[in-house]
């Protein structure tokens, strides 16, 4: 938990989805991420190329995991858009979609 929070500034804003309510400050960001390890197992995360322009950066990502309660496999893919200030993330916006149930890739 502290590793995730260590990349954000004290007054950071985190927006999980475009129409969601922004979480403001480290306490709110910590609260968002605190239960993730309780509900997800076998988590794998990868990102694409990171594009940087001044204080901003963006990347696509893929995160796969198993839901602990049901065993269901989940595949989430999306993009992150971040603004930085003094070496920390001051704003993070995520756009993502998930597919639950082990979707087969085309051509397989």
CA distance linking residue 36 with residue 41, whole number of Å: 9
According to the model, what pLDDT value does residue 1 have? Answer: 67
CA distance linking residue 45 with residue 65, whole number of Å: 9
pTM of the model: 0.83
Tens of pLDDT, residues 24-65: 999 999 999 888 888 999 999 999 999 999 999 999 999 999
Q: Quick one: average pLDDT of 86-95?
A: 96
Q: Quick one: average pLDDT of 63-87?
A: 94
Instruction: Read off the tokens for 37.
Output: 């390890």
Instruction: Read off the tokens for 40.
Output: 């997800």
Domains of the chain and CATH, by start: 2-100 (3.10.450.50)
CA distance linking residue 85 with residue 16, whole number of Å: 20
Tell me: pLDDT of 88 over 90: yes
Tell me: pLDDT of 4 over 90: no
According to the model, what pLDDT value does residue 36 have? Answer: 86
Residue 103 pLDDT class (50, 70, 90 cuts): low
């Amino acid at each position: 938990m502290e590793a995730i929070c260590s990349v954000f500034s004290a007054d950071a804003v985190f927006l999980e989805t475009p129409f969601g309510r922004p979480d403001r400050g480290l306490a709110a960001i910590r609260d968002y991420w605190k239960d993730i390890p309780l509900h997800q197992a076998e988590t794998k995360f990868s990102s694409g190329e990171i594009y940087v322009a001044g204080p901003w950066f963006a990347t696509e990502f893929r995160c796969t995991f198993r839901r602990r309660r049901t065993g269901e496999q989940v595949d989430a893919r999306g993009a992150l858009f971040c603004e930085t200030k003094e070496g920390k993330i001051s704003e993070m916006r995520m756009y993502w979609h998930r597919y639950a149930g082990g979707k087969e890739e085309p051509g397989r």
